[in-house]
Amino acid sequence: MDGGTLLAVRGLVVSFQRDRDGPVSRALRGVDLSVEASEIHGLVGESGCGKTVTSTAIIGLLPAPPARIEAGSIVFEGRDLLGLSAEERRKVRGRQIAMVFQEPARYLNPSLRVGAQITEMLRLHLRMGRQEAEARAAELAGLVGLGGARRVLQTYPHELSGGMKQRAMIAMAISCNPRLLIADEPTTALDVTLQLQILRLIVRLREAFRMGILFISHDLRLVRTVADRVTVMYAGRAVETTSARDLYRGALHPYTRLLLASIPAAQKRGTRLKVIPGRVPDAQAIPAGCAFHPRCPLAEDRCRVDMPESREHAPGHAASCHFVGKPWPD
């Protein structure tokens, strides 16, 4: 790793309110997260815990309204993005921070050839001339493994398979050499073989472009294979952050431990995936105290009233739980 901290999200609070008198759902309740330059940082947690809201806030695409950023900062390369004008924000997006999504089809323009979409990015953000942009687009298509790159550039998105679409979107995302790439469940819609190919591609691109990557997934197994560090989210907060190695050797938060235990060890066919009893609370009704207490085997009275702050238990290993180290029940 080199270059220090690329992105530091501190105390980010985001709420959604559809109508003026309607209920408020607090999707993020003080998220802390940092990505070092050229690291792959995994962001994990069950569905609804706030991974996508966090990433859309970082890239500046939260729909506001209904979303509202109530508190916090998003410091990217030393600047708080929340203080920038819409115009400045737009310049950062695509150029310095880029994003790939779970469903590329929704974000590719269906009426524009793939090549034209990439060259448009290059012309807009990097002010390249047509010929230079076309040459670079072909180079990028080759880099992301779009075989027969020049031919693929002439196709429309709907002519591509799921894996090819994802590669095309990755080519667009990296076209301007961003410092940070956010990948939100980039492989969830793909079959296992394609998943591995796209993961390998992401790892390779990190090497080639020396960019930081925020890799979002609800699948700890995937995160284990790619990430350097990991942040685990629960109910709109980061509950544990550590190196990927320490996560698997010595997770501290009961939620993380249960997530790890729910990964089937040998993936034997027919074995049932253990799931954590209970469910992620609705953002309109977050339990008092530690939001995880209704599902936690270690919970005591204190957990029902007192929200645990994040504490560093070892260098680079933080967790927010009152009872880190308490023996686990059988």
Starting at the edge strand that comes first in sequence, how are the strands of the sheet with 40-44 ordered? 97-100, 180-184, 212-217, 40-44, 229-234, 237-243, 317-319, 311-314
**Binding at 50: pick from Mg ion, ligand ATP, none (beta carbon under 5-8 Å per type):** ligand ATP
Interacting positions 246-285 with ligand ATP (CB under 6 A): 283
Give the whole-angstrom CA distance, residue 48 versus residue 27.
8
Q: Where are the beta strands (DSSP E) in the chain?
A: 5-17, 24-36, 40-44, 67-76, 79-80, 97-100, 180-184, 212-217, 229-234, 237-243, 311-314, 317-319
Q: Shortest gap between Cβ of 46 and Mg ion (angstroms)?
A: 10
Smallest distance, ligand ATP to C-beta of residue 13, A: 12
**Closest residue to Mg ion, Cβ-based?**
52
Which positions from 203 to 242 touch ligand ATP by CB under 6 A, shown as an x/- string?
---------------x------------------------
Q: To the nearest 10°, the Cα dihedral for 8, 208, 231, 78?
A: 0
Q: Is 51 in the site for ligand ATP (CB under 6 A)?
A: yes
Residue from 15, 38, 52, 195 binding Mg ion (CB under 5 A): 52
For residue 218, the partner it binds in ligand ATP, Mg ion, none, with Cβ less than 5 to 8 A by kind, is ligand ATP
Q: Between 137 and 283, name the residue whose CB sits nearer to ligand ATP.
A: 283
The nearer residue to ligand ATP, 69 or 324, going by C-beta atoms, is 69
| Chain residues in the site for ligand ATP (CB under 6 A) | 16, 25, 27, 45, 47-53, 63, 66, 218, 283
